Amino acid sequence: MVTRRILLALPLAAGLARSLHAQPAPAGKMHLAMHQNTSRAAGFRGSLEGWARADIRHVELTDVLLDEFLTNDTLAGARQILADLNLTPVSAAAVLPDVWIPGPAREASLETWRRRCEQFAAIGLEKIYCPSITSRPVTAEDFAATPGCIREVGEITRGFGLTAMIEFARTSTHLATLPSTLQVIREAAHPNVRPMLDFFHFWSGLSKLEDLDMIEPGEIAHVHFQDLQDGPRELIDNEWRLIPGDGVAPVDSILRKLAEKEYAGPLSVELFRAELVNGDPFAVGSEVRAKCEAVMRAAGVL
């Protein structure tokens, strides 16, 4: 028999069930991903197959390797590879000049951006990023125009159901630091454009550890995860990127701060050292996974 007490309890139980179902992942818990630049010599398919054998489950794709794959295959084929290997694509790169700033290359870059959005959406991605690269000196007027450029990119990206992300680059004459990037994105206030953080560009550039305090909870959309070789910062280049735990960057402190700021997404390992790029993706993925998961576990974010 359904009693009056049971009837009165039903709405409360249903509301509790909905509340529990809607609970997000624990704040600060992150998962490992691999960026295709790390094994780019193996190609689009080879990198993914090797990493899957190493029990990597989340991957970040690149425009260059996708183009190489598409010379003999299709977007449907790329999506099928991901499905067959049980891999989740978490982000994709579109490296184009003058996307975030007025410049001579911007018109062509925006056309390519549209094409990349269409391609990546077809593969099943939700996020796409572009570094803040330009080939010219930048003025105060250019910075003032940046929010408008961001809004334009945001509208293009929204049309494909994607989120665009700005990766500040340590050597950029435009956006080279976390504070500058946060400022222009907030001024643009477009819901489809968010900041991302690259450990290498952050720690080897002009940003400071305390700049992380500027991040609003949940603001960072994606993270590239690397360590840094010891030595004079004046000599730093991409070869100085190391597997997290192998270098001198304060990766533990940065991870803990990101957790405090409620980042709960991928940590995508993007490396350029020749022995990794040209190495066997299974061996590279296995080494990266073992070292990174130890670092993540120590920081309490795994």
Average pLDDT, stretch 134-139?
90
Q: What is the pLDDT of residue 28?
A: 61
State percent of the chain over pLDDT 90: 89
Q: What is the pLDDT of residue 27?
A: 57
CA distance 129 to 93: 5
Q: Residue 203's pLDDT band (boundaries 50, 70, 90)?
A: very high
AA identity, residue 97? P
Residue with tokens 């794709």: 61
Both tokens of 111, joined, read 């056309």
Task: Name which of 40, 52, 48, 68 is nearest 272 in CA terms.
Answer: 40
Give 176's contacts (C-beta < 8 A, 6+ positions apart).
132, 168, 169, 170, 201, 205, 206
Average pLDDT, stretch 142-154?
98
Average pLDDT, stretch 147-158?
98
Q: What is the pLDDT of residue 86?
A: 98
pLDDT for 245 beyond 80: yes
Q: What angle do CA 66, 56, 215 make, to 5 degrees?
A: 85
Helix then strand then coil, % of the chain, to nearest 5: 50, 15, 35
pLDDT for 293 beyond 60: yes
Q: What is the pLDDT of residue 19?
A: 32
Q: What is the pLDDT of residues 16-55, one digit of tens each?
A: 333 323 344 445 699 999 999 999 999 999 999 999 999 9
Distances (CA, A) of 121 to 84, 192, 195, 288: 18, 14, 20, 28
Specify the pairing of strand 241-242 against strand 227-228.
antiparallel
Give one DSSP letter per residue of 103-163, joined into a string. Answer: -TTHHHHHHHHHHHHHHHHHHT--EEEEE---SS---HHHHHHHHHHHHHHHHHHHTTT-E
Q: What is the pLDDT of residue 194?
A: 98
Helix 281-299 × helix 43-53 angle, to 10°: 50
pLDDT for 56 beyond 80: yes
Mean pLDDT of the chain: 91
Q: What is the pLDDT of residue 15?
A: 36
Average pLDDT, stretch 142-162?
98
CA distance 9 to 11: 6
CA distance 7 to 21: 22
Q: What is the pLDDT of residue 135?
A: 82
Both tokens of 236, joined, read 């730093």
Cβ atoms within 10 Å of 106's Cβ, excluding its own:
20
Q: Which residue has the higher pLDDT, 38 or 13?
A: 38
Q: What CATH class does 27-299 carry?
A: alpha beta
Q: What is the pLDDT of residues 254-286, one digit of tens each?
A: 999 999 999 999 999 999 999 999 999 999 999
Burial class (CB in 10 A: 0-12, 13-18, 19+), 91: buried
Predicted structure pTM score: 0.89
Task: Yes or no: say if 228 and 219 are a contact pair by the CB < 8 Å rule.
Answer: no
Q: What is the pLDDT of residues 73-128, one digit of tens each?
A: 999 999 999 999 999 999 999 999 999 999 999 999 999 999 999 999 999 999 99
DSSP letter assigned to residue 231: S
